[in-house]
Amino acid sequence: MVNVGYTLMCEQTDPRSLVRDAAAAEEAGFTLAVMSDHFFPWLDAQGHSPNAWATLGAVSQVTSSIELMTYVTCPTVRYHPAVVAQQAATVGLLSQGRFTLGLGSGENLNEHVVGRGWPPVNVRHEMLTEAVDIIGALFDGGYVSYSGKHFHVDSARLWDLPETRVPIGVAVSGAQSVQAFAPKAEVMISTEPDPELGRGWDAASASSTPARKVGQLPVSWDTDREAAVARAHEQFRWFAGGWKVNAELPSTAGFDAASQFVRPEDVAGQIPCGTDVEAIIEALKPFKDAGYTDVALVQIGGDQQRTFVEAAQKELLPGIRETLGKN
């Protein structure tokens, strides 16, 4: 069985609506809500980007059972890893143990704002490795001092830690990142349903049991399929560039220029549009076959969440569970 989650996408929704959407998603039967952590939207058409951590704190207070997760936070440029550890521990407490800290190496779009530049990919991976080590040490409790190539910590301590240690997930894209982070984290994160990633993660993991693996799938649910395709093209055509490109572009104007030749039919070929439950199930099957335990759906359009959540409760989630719950 693949657990179907819900995405609280900060780039397309204001913070008050995100909090309401989280409560509605829990009521509808979603058991996991993942939240993006951006400073910018991908495209101006999306129009939002509130602070993820303040919003998560509010979400934790209007929900009681749904699991929460960052998808994902970059703990290396815009934030210092010690600050991320404190934020994560606090949300872990507020949510009474429902929070998983999802980490990644970030995108220039969001990290350039603090004026530190954007390192090459190999340096970003070095920085993320150090950050995961620092966060893990702080989660263990006690005072932490650290002197690395990229980060320093001087006698830091988290004074408020949840009883259950906050699980750490790391976004990976290939064998190199899998080998680096599987021994350090409990959860694998990726948007690619590649079975080699999961097998490599479990082989390199410090645990003897298969790890939790969390993916993500965008959809554009709408009774008017043409409107669904148009909205997906307007707000999500950046998705077609792939993460190697997406990590490097510095601005919404850059994403707009890079995606100017992406056609509506190109987007519709990658993203299920309309109300075809079977199309969404077919898009989820590769994740199940690749060993993913969870896939969070992204409904495109901040003003389309209510109708999507209602449809998910009535037909989408039951259909997915009936089909993907079978061997």
Assess contact for 140 and 156: CB atoms under 8 A.
no
- β-strand partners of 212: 187
Tokens 């209510």 belong to 306
Three-state DSSP state, 102: strand
Does 226 participate in catalysis according to the annotation? no
Assess contact for 299 and 274: CB atoms under 8 A.
no
Query: How is 34-55 classified by DSSP, letter by letter?
Result: EE---SS-SSTTT-----HHHH
Does 196 participate in catalysis according to the annotation? no
Candidate list 11, 26, 107, 186, residue with the active-site label: 107
Which residue, among 248, 201, 317, has the nearest Cα to 107 in the 3D structure? 248
**Which residues, 6 or more positions from 301, have their beta carbon under 8 angstroms from its beta carbon?**
12, 220, 231, 235
Write the secondary structure of 106-164 as one string of H (helix), E (strand) and C (coil).
CCHHHHHHHCCCCCCHHHHHHHHHHHHHHHHHHHCCCCEEEECCCCEEEEECCCCCCCC
Burial of 185 (0-12, 13-18, 19+ CB in 10 A): buried
Query: How is 192-249 classified by DSSP, letter by letter?
Result: S--HHHHHHHHHH-SSSSPPEEEEEEEEEE-SSHHHHHHHHHHHHGGGGG-HHHHTT-
Three-state DSSP state, 274: strand
Candidate list 38, 111, 186, 233, residue with the active-site label: 38
**Residues with catalytic roles:** 38, 107
